[in-house]
Amino acid sequence: MNGLLVRIGIDAAFGRWNAPVDMDSREFVYVPIPESEELASDLERGYGEIIPKLVRFSEKRGKDIDRDLRFPRDLYNQNMHLDPDFDFLTYGDVGTSRGSEITYMKEGDIIAFYCSLRPIDQTLNRLVYALIGLYVVEEVVWALEVPQSLWKENAHTRRQHIRDVDVIVRAKPSVSGRLKKCIPIGEWRNRSYRVRNDLLDAWGGLSVKDGFIQRSAVPPRLKKPEKFYYWFQKQNVPIIQKNNCI
């Protein structure tokens, strides 16, 4: 088995914002990064479909999306790079650079998705680095090989010009998807965000030095993915095939 830890979701570098999390319930809103390429006109996915979910999440907790969450106004009319797309259990990446290891993945390998979330409780100053999804790989294909009938299922095939370097992962249903509740994994240590030491032990280690997860050009590799997956299953967090269920 092979396993990767892949960072996703809007953050300070890509979108200048962090999606909210309620640390009491560990519920969160999955908000993708902005799209950098032109999308086919009939396949556009805008932040407008995320706004109602953010509003419901906020109002349920007595917060306001503008005053408290400070959602960037300039994103309202932009497209989002909805990747991974948990509705369709797909994930796309650049197979010649950042996602090069993904091109070698096979059925049964795993990809664990994490992101940096901002606690809706404003007394908590640190970001929350947490797992929000997991895929058990079914197949990996080049984006150009995806039939047009399936272009709507991933951000990389929604683009006007599909690149020959892009690769698409399809995950196994029932065991893959978005987590209903996030699993916090990070802490502030040695002047950056890193996976907690107790989790590094439980997982069998990562390919990056001292569990560094704040930013990486190449996704960290799980040294012992079987051990990680055993730990993950023990967390008993429901997995759903849906981008957001709010």
Q: Quote the CA–CA distance of 101 and 94 in Å, as a whole number.
A: 10
- The pLDDT tens digits for 211-230 are 999 987 789 999 999 999 99
Region 21-40: what's the mean pLDDT? Answer: 97
Which residues contact residue 225 at a Cβ distance below 8 angstroms, ignoring those fewer than 6 apart? 1, 2, 3, 109, 110
Give pLDDT, residue 161.
96
222 neighbors 5 (Cβ within 8 angstroms): yes
- Reported as a single tens digit per residue, the pLDDT across 85-110 is 999 999 999 998 888 999 999 999 99
Residue 208 in this model has a pLDDT that exceeds 90: yes
What burial class does residue 150 get, using C-beta atoms within 10 Å of its C-beta: 0-12 exposed, 13-18 middle, 19+ buried? middle
Position 97 scores a pLDDT of 82
The domain ranges of the chain are 3-240
Q: Give which of 127, 170, 128, 165 is closest to 144, Cα–Cα.
A: 165
Average pLDDT, the chain: 96
| Mean pLDDT of the 178-196 span | 97
pTM, full prediction:
0.97
pLDDT at site 246: 72
Q: Quick one: average pLDDT of 37-52?
A: 96
Whole-number Cα distances in Å, 124 to 13, 21, 24, 96, 105? 21, 11, 12, 39, 38
Neighbours of 127 (CB within 10 A): 19
